Structure 1
Amino acid sequence: MCFGSKADKLGKKFGTELLSLPALMQNENIADLILQAKKQMNVYDPALIVQWNDNGFNDTRIANCRNGIPGQTKQAIINFIVNNGGVDFRGENN
């Protein structure tokens, strides 16, 4: 990461050093997503960032279901969040 990167800008927004950010937020794509979402959010809007572990959806014989639980697919979880007031920002499902 370099000075002036999206992650560096995110660190400045939070009033901290880049390396003090959680590892997830040091990712350039995640930092860019957060910075863009912040522009569209109200002050008290909560944010939920999900870092999917695809292996957790394919660790049993029941493919694409979280820990083999039928119906607990990534899309089902996203739909649940969106149907209960969440926003799939930029429609990325990730």
Structure 2
Amino acid sequence: MHLVRRAQCGGGGLGQSVLESALFEDAGLARSPDGRLHVGGVDLGALAQEAGTPAFVYAGDVIRRQFRALDEAFAGIPHRIHYAVKANGNLSVLRLLRELG
């Protein structure tokens, strides 16, 4: 997991419907037995206290899983996956994607 930077975003938190959706697990989010929200095994409340809010948080395992799914979807044809740096120029994300191919 990689914390990038503080970001300005709209108010409000995650609604209960989002927390119960398949998107919740696809994003690598989980609740601990005591109800605390985690991503990649990291307590987001503790991370928010340390880094401040709002913030962008990226889970490397989710990026890897999504990259593999896209790569496998094109397995039957010659292909290369290119990432649009303009979409997100975070160096840690870019390094991870370069390692993946």
Fold equivalence (TM over 0.5): no
Looking at both structures, which has the greater relative contact order when contacts are Cα pairs under 8 Å and sequence separation is at least 6?
2
TM-score normalised according to structure 2 size: 0.33
Higher helix proportion (structure 1 or 2):
1
TM-score normalised according to structure 1 size: 0.35
Higher strand proportion (structure 1 or 2):
2
